[in-house]
Structure 1
């Protein structure tokens, strides 16, 4: 049985066409910068975009794209999840520990997703039900998960030799230059984008991020939507952990450390407004691809890797500054429009 889903209009929510146009332009701009950067690098190093080079580029981006997609949904609801790096790490080791004990690799991936979703439920309950700020909650769970991971894992490590050969091959093989991991990430990306665009509950995530008070007055189940966003983010971080293990064939207590900052940078650079309610998962994926490409391009042209983090930080600051400028511009236009409305009514 199917139902026709009508668009959600939240009372008191002002349209933001200028902001939407700028964010769409940013996504196109990121794509253009990415193409130009890769073309320039190829001109300088003709082996850069070989079949293996393209595969490595996509493999490096796959993990970040998956986590960025989940993070984007959380940020759209006007929240943030800083625990994704820790979740990725503990899920990767959980999957590896299961496979090492003779478990089925497919079941190991399911376990990783469930581990991530469980921590997503914890974050979502504290934020959505407990009304605790997401920054505080996920900063706390970041350290809690990392501490539990360190106690559980200790000095142990999972290596490629302890994993199923088919699982490790899945992390490297593909169709020509397109890795299987990239295909899986593209499927997840498309599914989440379709959900946000065509399902009422998905569009309500945007309503929640744009104006939480107005969304609640319009009947949007704000707590439920926030909980769902965190569960999805945790599940995708768990899946990314399993794929990280397949890609690199290694996991220990430090896996995923600091990864959350790169994820947030990718999401914001990709045009997802940090104040919620705007952006798309496609933009977040482009931001992830841009950041991972920078990591590959700089060494290829002889630039020290120390500049990678500096450039990531500069891009993040520029993206946040642009969001702020555009938001102020939109607010000014709306104030001007409201100021003109009474005069128009009197003249009529």
Structure 2
């Protein structure tokens, strides 16, 4: 066969292969776009609060077994111009006064209950962070302020039950099982009666307690290693430094899927790490790993289909919510944008 004809045939064959690969890729993208969940903002949720209340920064949200939405907000984050009607304000303005930290809403956005704040017999956190409502209706609350080293358990109308840890100005100590380290998130494994705490902004671990007795059960660090509080230095982006073998502060969430896997938000390392309930490392997904601190993996939610096929990942730096395929971490899409309009986010958190 003449060389010219042979070269033309080779080029044609490669062109055909590339077209087939491109078509397959486009088909996969189209399939992902069709099958992934889609959401639309409701600009009228929740309804206006009573008593001239205003909400500050959101330190956590959760949904209970009755589909009630619980919001943990931070009255201490209100600015002077926002609370000009507060008795302590010199403004004597018409609006507003701080709402209580804990707010319970129904699906329509009606406020059902509110409570929280400092009281006798317990140590309310100096900065609220993380809330979970268990099947019995108990409300668990954490905090990430400078001295927040505790988690609190209340009834759903705000009566104090128990507490793990206490306020402290001490250094990080992930070996201490009696004191937390500015815990970020909470979740209950109802069947096992276990409380999982992502701990946190100071410590670098997931720690598990008995949710009835509050006795310590186990803990682990990144890749299932023993926790290590050594400072790894600033995150430089994946590929620009060795992969960190520990969690980087903050360990921002720990959520349990229906099939019994624990998904951990290693926020500043831009990754989700997946474990068994005993802390055995299984796999990890990186989410836009070129993003520098504060990081891309702030919180995780599972899609509501039977198999929880998708992960929704809140990105604190880029202010979007990513959709990932849960089985392998493939990025399928995103929603939102940095901003203050309906459907936009700024410092998206929990």
* Fold conserved between structures, TM > 0.5: no
TM-score (normalised: structure 2): 0.23
More strand by share: 2
TM-score norm. by structure 1 comes to 0.23
Larger Rg: 2
Structure of greater relative contact order (alpha carbons < 8 Å, 6+ residues apart):
1
